[in-house]
Amino acid sequence: MQFGIFTVGDIAPDPATGRAPTEHERITRMVETALKAEEAGLDVYATGEHHNPPFVTSSPTTLLGYIAARTSTILLSTSTTLITTNDPVKIAEDYAMLQHLAGGRLDLMMGRGNTGPVYPWFGKDIHDGISLAVENYALLRRLWREDVVDWQGRFRTPLQSFTSTPRPLDGVPPFVWHGSIRSPEIAEQAAYYGDGFFHNNIFWPKEHTRRMIDLYRTRFEHYGHGPADQAIVGLGGQVFIRRRSQDAITEFRPFFDHSPVYGNGPSLEETMRQTPLSVGSPQEVIDRTLRFREDFGDYQRQLFNVDGMGLPHKAVLEQIDFLGEEVVPVLRKEFAAIRPAHIPDAPTHESLKAAR
């Protein structure tokens, strides 16, 4: 299994001081977080994509390209690449370039995002969201797999004898995950192509997440990519860890209560019961994460959110230390012990290159 962290790149004030980081501070700290993740032995660092305040993640390839130059082992990914509002030609070119610069340490997650106004900002209609995701990804796959492409569709100008450059490293396109919280059409899309399906289940009860993953697995097998339990699944989660669980809850509560996502809703305790949010000791986080397999079956990637919501940078780095030193080593051992031999690993550039 792969274990890592992801960020959405939000800017929020610390409720204790009222001060929010500047954009420069937030971007710099995201880089430091990625470097710390590699140092701690984590496998993946992923960033989202947003084009509006309070987020700073408008250019994932720029951020990841810089991180690639500062790291040597960690796999770089996106927790959302907006397949709906980005031109698939630019996605093909930008991420192939990044794949070369990172030496193959790259995959990406397609998604539609959760900001409705982004569609008209980029000349699109939100009512076309699913259709855009389907058509744009179909074109992206061809651009990476065919040297010369002739193409015509609904949402961009036609292409005639077009070659996307640079070509994918070693002739192997980056592995793609399709991320969705609520759209069965996206689970269907992932299954159709035999790609990965990532359910960022931070805010959702396990019953909903199970339905989406079961749909993906069933359709993965239907399309002839292998047995349902060999489908490539990733999960999200959010953690805040302290040595004592009560200390973790006490420290995290003000950030939860002031969060624009969590605040003014169910209590911290109720949210922890109903969603994968895990606030507590290292052992409590281990136990909660191990239950994901019971709920959703064997899976290949687990990403945790550890920053944002105004959390001090020192606390964020401490979360990565807890993950690297105490949580992930146990999870690796426990998951490996119960993992059937026929369950595939998460694809990497090297494994895809060898298979090809």
Which residues does residue 176 pair with via DSSP β-bridges, in sequence order? 108
In whole angstroms, give the CA distance from residue 286 to residue 300: 16
Find how far residue 36's CA is from the centre of its chain. 18
pLDDT of residue 116: 81
Q: Which residue range forms the structural domain that includes residue 149?
A: 2-355
pLDDT value of position 88: 98
The predicted model scores a pTM of: 0.97
pLDDT given at position 288: 96
Number of domains in the chain: 1
The two beta strands, 44-47 and 75-78, are: parallel
pLDDT given for residue 264 in this prediction = 84
Burial of 60 (0-12, 13-18, 19+ CB in 10 A): buried
The 10s digit of each residue's pLDDT in 250-290 is 999 999 999 988 888 899 999 999 899 999 999 999 999 99
Q: Which pLDDT value is given to residue 261? A: 85
Q: What is the CATH number of the domain that holds 326?
A: 3.20.20.30
Buried b (16+ CB within 10 A) or exposed e, 326-335: bbbebbeeeb
Q: Over the stretch 298-326, which tens digit does the pLDDT of each residue have?
A: 999 999 999 999 999 999 999 999 999 99
Residues of the chain with pLDDT under 50: none
